[in-house]
Chains A and B, each alone.
Chain A
Amino acid sequence: MAIRVFVPRDATACALGADAVAKLIREGAAGRGLDVEVIRNGSRGAFWLEPMVEVETDSGRLAFGPVGAADVPGLFEAGFPGEAQHPLALGLVDGISWLARQQRLTFVRAGLIDPVSLEDYQSLRGYVGLARALEMAPQAIVDEVKESGLRGRGGAAFPTGIKWQTVLDTVADQKYIVCNADEGDSGTFADRLLMEADPYQMIEGMTIAGLAVGATEGYIYLRSEYPHCRKVLSEALSRAEQAGFLGTGICGSNRDFSIDLRIGAGAYICGEETSLLDSLEGKRGLIRFKPPLPAIKGLMGLPTVVNNVLSLGAISTILAEGAAHYRDFGTGRSRGTLTVQLAGNIKRGGLVELPFGATLRELVEDYGGGTASGRPVRAIQVGGPLGTYLPQSQWDVALDYEALAEIGGMLGHGGIVVFDDSVDLAQQARFAMEFCAVESCGKCTPCRIGSVRGVEVIDRIVANEERAFNLEVLDDLCDTMVEGSLCAMGGLTPYPVRSAIKHFPEDFNR
């Protein structure tokens, strides 16, 4: 029987040379007359070890990493794919403590399987949730989601069950399920990783959502910056359709559900749900007033569920394993697991899934191992480009929605971007305003114009032109943006700016 060797097809793994490694392993095995099957799996999210090559053995999978193309001949010489004494040998994957200490719920299949293989997915309880949902009344499905305590994973943390109830209760001939896969926050890649490693989980979740609220059409709005992901999703969707998991009469039932994959066109704001809906309608991605909520008047003015990739992924687990299973992870009002992404200047970056309650310091020091540069950590931005910069005194905060909110921060989509002591927080504050100016949809004046003025005022402060006066102007401008913007783009841009001024005043005073 062929020896099974796994080389991830994930975008980050490929960016580090995984395609070349896979090719060289195939060629090297063929040249040595070895019967080796190379499988392109998803990544486990231990990006600091990518490309991580795994070999299936009777006692589990053996890992090697990070394997560059130049390492492949040496690996074969050392005995690969058998037990190889090699500096890159990591032992059993299950023994890698960075991974073993995690609690994988959403990412349980990531890296284990060929992402587009339906057989692999089903062998690990895939499509169990859908089978169960097909036997349930819509209200029972919604109740199950409510009981799980699932809150939206895109950033706003709104209870998913309540959103679904509204769509279920709104009478209409047509309803829609929209998956928000416009993951634009810097420092985040959890959605991408899940879609590239285990796409059926989200596809199944969307199908269950359709059954729950009575929608027969779904849309995935994927950002154009993710071409690898697009390939995986297209392939997964067409296989699911061929196998009868999507389309007319799904799984032999009399229920229909189809999914159309749509590609964004480079606009951060389209990650905001109402802007996303306008974009799906073929328009400029402008923010809409709420109310009406998308759950009542969404896509084409019809009731629409808009959920994030991870939220929809969680749905298949909740339906397969029951609400209690999901709810029993987590603390307080933060149920399920915490998914964070260690990014920026970090030694051991990647995706970490844990029970809620871990502190920021534990994650950055323990999992992350400090900075990649080896210099001291100075600032950590949590929650994407609209999140605050946290100074050392705040790193003992627990990473959950409420604890972060208490110190004026937000968990958002769980991005953790680490900066070493070479960072200039005045430049980071300036960038926050600049980014807002580039990406504002333009609807609200405080966001559209305020961000441009913000860049100018920060430049004056840094240049020491009437500094005290201009700091006051900036503060006033921030108030105007917070109070006068419809969505989080203008409303939250002042957060990174203010946190930089508050916690790192010396950077504005040089």
Chain B
Amino acid sequence: MSSSAVALKEIVESVIESHQGKIGALLPVLHSIQDKLGHIPPESISMMAAAMSLSRAEIHGVMSFYHDFRGEPAGENILHLCRAEACQAMGSRELEHHAKERLGIDYGETTPDGLFTLEPVYCLGNCSCSPSLRVNDELHARVTAEKFDDLIAQMEARD
């Protein structure tokens, strides 16, 4: 086993240990691994399977069912753009088009500089002040194309 695989195994085992005895621990375990590593490395699946008495297929099934879990690293910033009805009523379709064009990527993709990953989301619970955009854990309301560009420029400048 390579040293990185040993390190990964340690992380996976400590995460599983911290959720020991919980009902349905797999979701909390996947969340914890992703919180620590930014994604769920494919090599960790067999480690989880062995430690939790699950098959790799079961874990893959769960991972791929939920939108949140990713098997590959995301960009430095994850942008969740709301596509749901309340935001549509305030022009999110146009904003969506603008965002893809500005970043040069589609949903589920990361910009070549690794700064941004764009994801769709179906409601952020900010429906009185649409359109909504979540940047990592920060929420933005009444997002216009200009506001979007400003946010992107700020993050690019910070980099």
Given contacts A186-B85, A420-B89, contact A225 B24 (CB under 8 A): no
Beta-carbon contact of A186 and B123 below 8 Å: yes
Number of interface residues of B (CB under 8 A): 44
Closest B residue by C-beta to A283:
B62
Question: A431–B121 Cα gap in the complex (Å)?
Answer: 14
Residues of B within 8 A of A458 (CB): none
Q: Which of these binds chain B: A106-114, A123-131, A264-272, A318-326?
A: A264-272
Beta-carbon contact of A282 and B25 below 8 Å: yes
Query: Number of A-B pairs whose CB atoms are under 8 Å?
Result: 159
Closest A residue by C-beta to B64:
A284
Beta-carbon contact of B128 and A341 below 8 Å: yes
Closest B residue by C-beta to A438:
B122
Residues of A within 8 A of B56 (CB): none
Residues of A within 8 A of B89 (CB): 343-345, 417-420, 423
B144 to chain A, nearest CB (A): 12
Beta-carbon contact of B26 and A15 below 8 Å: no
Q: Decide yes or no whether A251 CB sits under 8 A from chain B.
A: no
Q: Which residue of B24, B58, B85 contacts A344 across the interface (Cβ within 8 Å)?
A: B85
A125 to chain B, nearest CB (A): 27
Would you list which residues of chain A between 418 and 439 have a CB under 8 Å from chain B? 418-420, 423, 427-428, 431, 435, 438-439
Given contacts A267-B67, A282-B25, A420-B89, contact A15 B128 (CB under 8 A): no
Given contacts A11-B139, A284-B62, A419-B89, contact A343 B122 (CB under 8 A): no
B26 to chain A, nearest CB (A): 3
Given contacts A15-B132, A266-B68, A341-B128, contact A225 B121 (CB under 8 A): yes
11 additional contacts, CB 8 Å, given A262-B27, A282-B24? A12-B126, A12-B129, A15-B140, A183-B125, A189-B126, A266-B66, A266-B67, A266-B68, A284-B62, A344-B127, A441-B65
Chain B interface (Cβ < 8 Å from any Cβ of A):
22-28, 30-31, 58, 61-62, 65-69, 80, 84-90, 93, 121-130, 132, 134, 137-142
Chain A interface (Cβ < 8 Å from any Cβ of B):
11-12, 14-16, 47-48, 50, 183-189, 192, 224-228, 260, 262-268, 279-285, 299-300, 341-346, 349-350, 372, 381, 385, 415, 417-420, 423, 427-428, 431, 435, 438-439, 441
